[in-house]
Structure 1
Amino acid sequence: MNTDKFTLQAPPADQELVLKVIPMPADCNANGDIFGGWLMSQVDLAGCILPMRLSQGRMATVAVKEFLFTQPVRVGDLLSFYAKIGRVGTTSVTVEVQVLAQRLATQNAYVQVAHAVLTYVAIDEEGRPRPVAA
């Protein structure tokens, strides 16, 4: 896969850094790459940060509209999760999450390793949808 189109010199200016994490050997699959499911769980955590702040309460994931793995993630990569709110509905918030890796050998460059669009719904104490506080 051509990595040039996924390499950035700086993180996106129109998105907020919401999470940073370093994958460890326990997060690997049999090929030595990081499990896609592990990365998906991290994206879900990162994606809910802005909606929780906006709704001032609990959120539940209701849809993953898109999830693209663009490059493998390796042990020791410094992953940065950038998010921005795409749409705010009556009870739901759609968020775009971009995952960038700084490889051990190239700390000054960012490589996009994943991109996702998720939708969260604001929920009350009983788990029922509630209006998003604006």
Structure 2
Amino acid sequence: MSEQQEPIGELAIRVLAMPEHTNPAGDIFGGWVLSQMDIAGGLFTKKISKGRTVTIAVDSMTFNKPVLVGDTLCCYVSLLKTGKTSLSVKIETWVSRQYSEGREKVTEGVFTYVAVSSDRKPRLINDQYL
């Protein structure tokens, strides 16, 4: 099976991995990567649902390769499924390594968000937004 060559989804966030994001081994802390993915998913679901969304689940998460200091981390989001109040998205994280050409996929996960109203209660997602 060949390695995926291009990201799937919409670019939602791009950020530089910095030394303050490292774990004791010197690689970027997985929790920081996960938080960037969650931010990307939140931005994407807010846009398509036309309002506030909250994370309710990380349904799956795979860390394929380490993220290194100096990498440019990019999160791509695609819609997998919608419910009455929920959205399930796939998030792929790709990096451009410092001083090298090309990019590679380092993580992927499936996240579920719920659309909420101003009183933080679930709200229906209007089909016209999707």
Question: TM-score scaled to structure 2, two decimals?
Answer: 0.91
Structure 1 unaligned regions, length at least 5: none
User: Which position in structure 2 is the counterpart of 1:44?
Assistant: 38
Runs of 4+ in 1 over 4 A off after TM superposition: none
Q: Post-superposition shift, 1:133?
A: 2.5
CA distances 1:19-41 after superposition (whole Å, capped 9, x unpaired): 10011000001100001110110
Pick one of 83, 90, 94 that aligns with 1:96: 90
Amino acid at match of 1:129: P
CA distances 1:41-100 after superposition (whole Å, capped 9, x unpaired): 000000122211121110000010011100000010011111100001000000000000
Instruction: Please state whether the residue corresponding to 1:53 is helix, strand or coil.
Output: helix
State the distance in 1 between where 2:15 and 2:109 align: 17
Report % sequence identity.
37
Pairing 1:117–2:110 present: yes
User: Which position in structure 2 is the counterpart of 1:85?
Assistant: 79
Instruction: Please state whether the residue corresponding to 1:48 is helix, strand or coil.
Output: helix
**Cα RMSD after superposing both structures:** 1.4
State the distance in 1 between where 2:59 and 2:4 align: 24
Structure 2 unaligned regions, length at least 5: none
Question: TM-score scaled to structure 1, two decimals?
Answer: 0.88
State the distance in 1 between where 2:45 and 2:13 align: 14
Aligned residues: 126
Amino acid at match of 2:32: W
- After superposition, the Cα gap between the structure-2 partners of 1:122 and 1:58, relative to the gap in structure 1 and judged at 3 Å, is same
Contact kept, 8 Å, 1:6 with 1:111, in 2: the verdict is no
User: Which position in structure 1 is the counterpart of 2:123?
Assistant: 130
Contact kept, 8 Å, 1:7 with 1:110, in 2: the verdict is no
